[in-house]
Amino acid sequence: MSPKPLAEPVKSAEEAAKEQILSAYQGLDSVTSKAFETGELDNAELQKYARDKAAVGVSMALAWYKQRGLKVIGRSAHDPKVTALDLVGDPKTAVVSDCHDTTGSDTVYTATGKSAIRQDSTEPRRKPVTAKAMLVGNQWLISDYDVDRSRTC
């Protein structure tokens, strides 16, 4: 008779929440990346991961890019971490801190494919991001997303 397999450790409520929050954050990044690459935003998909200022911000930024004939090619890198978590408050909230690294991507003119990033730009390619999340029903959603373009991480 073979030994009985060990049961997987049970996740704490905090660990489970952090996984769900990071999943929402990564889902938002996936939807956003696709939108900035194609110029089309899947609003139904966006609503699975974001709400409030975060969702509106994606729509407004994409409109700004489209108006100027821009798109993003390549992929940016992330290293998100849940840095604050309140599972007692109503609503339950969290903060995600990330370093958005755009060195693997480029903003280009859609018509020509030429880079739209000025050679003399002083904006860092690695920028700190602070995102806020909240539990809505049983789903964590990103409610605010702020990029600090003034410093690097």
pLDDT digits (tens), the chain, 153 positions: 556 666 667 789 999 999 999 999 999 999 999 999 999 999 999 999 999 999 999 999 999 999 999 999 999 999 999 999 999 999 999 999 999 999 999 999 999 999 999 888 888 999 999 999 999 999 999 999 999 999 999
Strand 105-109 and strand 81-86: pairing? unpaired
SS3 state of residue 150 = coil
Phi, psi of 120 (to 5 degrees): -95, 15
The C-alpha atoms of residue 35 and residue 41 are separated, in whole angstroms, by: 5
- State the pLDDT at residue 147: 95
Q: Which segments of the chain are extended strands (E)? A: 70-74, 81-86, 93-101, 105-109, 126-136, 139-147
**Contact present, 29 and 45 (Cβ < 8 Å):** no
The C-alpha atoms of residue 127 and residue 146 are separated, in whole angstroms, by: 10
State both tokens at 101: 């690294």
SS3 state of residue 27 = helix
Residue 92 neighbours by CB distance under 10 Å: 17
SS3 state of residue 37 = helix
Q: What is the pTM of this model?
A: 0.90
